[in-house]
Amino acid sequence: MTSPFENTASKSIVMYVEPYLNSYYKYYQNIVTLSGMPEGPLAEMVTTISAPKLSPFQEASPFNNNPHNCTYVLLRYPKSTCGGSQKRADIFMGTDDIPSIFGYLRTHGYSIDNELTKMMNKSRVEIGGVSETRFSGDRKMICMFYYNNH
């Protein structure tokens, strides 16, 4: 049985900024993450990582359906393999890259949900927060977008 929420014609992806612990440098970074693998050319710049706990005191939630803490992350160009990602501090896109990311989305066939952004700004509601399935800490929603594959 197919879920009534499944719509393969326009699969929406949520983009977040969230804290990430670079265990090589022992430094926290705010990186751009995605709710899933996007369709279209952006998929070439996305990979999954197993994000570490932000604190040794964090415990997995009983609702965690992501035991390896896999997270979709947006990589910087030129894309490199994540095998040595801990040693490269600039491998992930961050908050300073958001204007460039929006420009890329607009020029490569993606639509950004502007109505949701207007609603969030008008009501001063932040969508995101602490995830029950990841060790990400307090993530914040940047936007929702989808690929125009028609």
pTM here? 0.74
pLDDT at 45: 94
Q: Would you give per-residue pLDDT tens digits along the chain (150 residues)?
A: 677 766 555 588 999 999 888 777 778 889 999 999 999 999 999 998 877 655 555 455 555 554 446 889 999 876 665 544 556 667 899 999 999 999 999 999 999 987 765 555 554 445 544 444 455 567 888 999 999 976
Tell which phi-psi region holds residue 69, choosing left (phi > 0), alpha (psi between -120 and 50) or beta.
Answer: left
Return the ∠ at Cα 22 (arms to 16 and 28), rounded to 5°: 65
| Per-residue confidence (pLDDT) for residue 91, from 0 to 100 | 87
pLDDT value for 135: 52
Q: Give the start-to-end residue ranges of the domains of the chain.
A: 13-147
Q: How far apart are the first and last CA of the chain?
A: 26
Q: How many CB atoms lie within 10 A of CB 48?
A: 14
User: What pLDDT, on the 0 to 100 scale, is given for residue 140?
Assistant: 87
